[in-house]
Amino acid sequence: MKLKLTEEKLLAPKISNEKLVGLYKQMWLIRYFDEKVDEFFAKGMIHGTTHLAVGQEASASGVCALLDIDDKITSTHRGHGHCIAKGATADKMMAELFGRTTGYCKGKGGSMHIADVDMGNLGANGIVAGGIPLAVGSALTAKMKNLNYVTVCFFGDGATNEGSFHEAVNLASIWDLPVIFVCENNQYGMSGSVKEMINVDDIATRAKAYGIPGVVADGNDIIEIMNVTDDAIKRARRGDGPTLIEAKTYRWKGHSKSDAKKYRTREEEKEWRAKDPIKRYKQVLIDAGLFTEETAEELRLAAKKEIEDAVKFSEESPMPTLDDLLTDVYA
């Protein structure tokens, strides 16, 4: 059953009205988290580097909305939204970026290496395409042990030119593994346009080479993302193997904190900002009679306060000591 939002009924059985409304707040939570992190990096309050996904909130929220707690994900260097959508709390997320002991990895993972195994998040990864073989390994475990979980692997358009992408997708295909490959095509790999890097219109076309479904979705339409994800999950749970989903979207910020975005035009940015996934979803919910403008504003402000509380929690949390230097280190 395809998800449709009308005043009569909505979509798939797992998505209640309450959850649909909650996804609106979650998308704001992801955006405010990244915007706050951007602010703190500019002020030198957070160290290292960071990669923001402002404008890409629909793909993370839409995919993870259909997952069970036992299902797994692997994330990327641009992965704050994936973590939050899979159940991570903003306070422990923010504390991790602040390098505090109350963070998910005790402050040792930072922006690009957050993991939350209890919620099925096997970890973000600073290596382009690095999480794809890990996701296939997770799916192989599920098949060999007759477990019913699926694994979702998030990656960007640039990752599909890496050898590990092709090797991993090939193995998943020939073994019919319960894994879903989600390519968040935000149009640029660092400063290179996807049009200059890939000689096909749709990355999803590459699925044909491995005999698996390849689906193109509007990455800024959370309802469409949920529908294609629902199909892919059902296929994986049936034992029919993987699916490649290409979510076409756009990152509003630069590749990383030092990116001045000189490689793209302001007109292009304006065009994509008009497709803001949060504003689009808000109108869908209002048209379906699930909430009003007033409720939408309350949820937005609640998300903003949650981020402010997360900042306070992080600032008040302890820093690691020298005694912590070699703990959690394995050889």
Q: Diameter of the chain by CA atoms?
A: 60
CA distance 9 to 270: 34
pLDDT of 237 over the 60 cut: yes
180 lies in some domain: yes
Residue with tokens 């390994």: 137
Domain count, the chain: 1
Task: Assign 188 to helix, strand or coil.
Answer: strand
**Per-residue confidence (pLDDT) for residue 79, from 0 to 100:** 96
Q: Are 276 and 220 in contact (CB under 8 A)?
A: yes
Mean pLDDT of 104-133: 95
Domain around 86: 17-256+269-314
**Per-residue confidence (pLDDT) for residue 174, from 0 to 100:** 98
**Per-residue confidence (pLDDT) for residue 171, from 0 to 100:** 98
pTM of this structure: 0.94
148 closest CA partner among 237, 87, 233, 242: 237
> What is the domain-level CATH number for residue 148?
3.40.50.970
pLDDT of 7 over the 60 cut: no
Sequence-distant (6+) residues with CB within 8 A of 112 are 48, 49, 50, 51, 77, 79, 124, 125, 126
pLDDT of 5 over the 70 cut: no
> Which pLDDT band, with edges at 50, 70 and 90, does 4 fall under?
low
Task: Assign 121 to helix, strand or coil.
Answer: strand
| % of the chain with per-residue pLDDT over 90 | 85
133 lies in some domain: yes
pLDDT of 209 over the 90 cut: yes
Q: Are 103 and 92 in contact (CB under 8 A)?
A: yes
Q: Are 87 and 69 in contact (CB under 8 A)?
A: yes
CA distance 276 to 280: 6
Mean pLDDT of 257-283: 92
185 lies in some domain: yes
165 closest CA partner among 129, 201, 140: 129
Q: Over the stretch 181-205, which tens digit does the pLDDT of each residue have?
A: 999 999 998 888 999 999 999 999 9
Task: Assign 182 to helix, strand or coil.
Answer: strand
Mean pLDDT of 201-226: 97
Average pLDDT in the chain:
93
| % of the chain with per-residue pLDDT over 70 | 96
- Phi then psi dihedrals of residue 303, to 5 deg: -65, -40
CA distance 111 to 124: 8
231 closest CA partner among 270, 180, 186: 180
HSE, side-chain direction, 13 A CA sphere, residue 274: 6
Mean pLDDT of 123-140: 97
**Per-residue confidence (pLDDT) for residue 200, from 0 to 100:** 94
CA distance 145 to 162: 29
7 lies in some domain: no
325 lies in some domain: no
> Which pLDDT band, with edges at 50, 70 and 90, does 6 fall under?
low
297 lies in some domain: yes
319 lies in some domain: no
Question: What is the CA 203 to chain-centroid distance, rounded?
Answer: 18
Q: Over the stretch 38-90, which tens digit does the pLDDT of each residue have?
A: 999 888 888 888 999 999 999 999 999 999 999 999 999 999 999 999 999 99
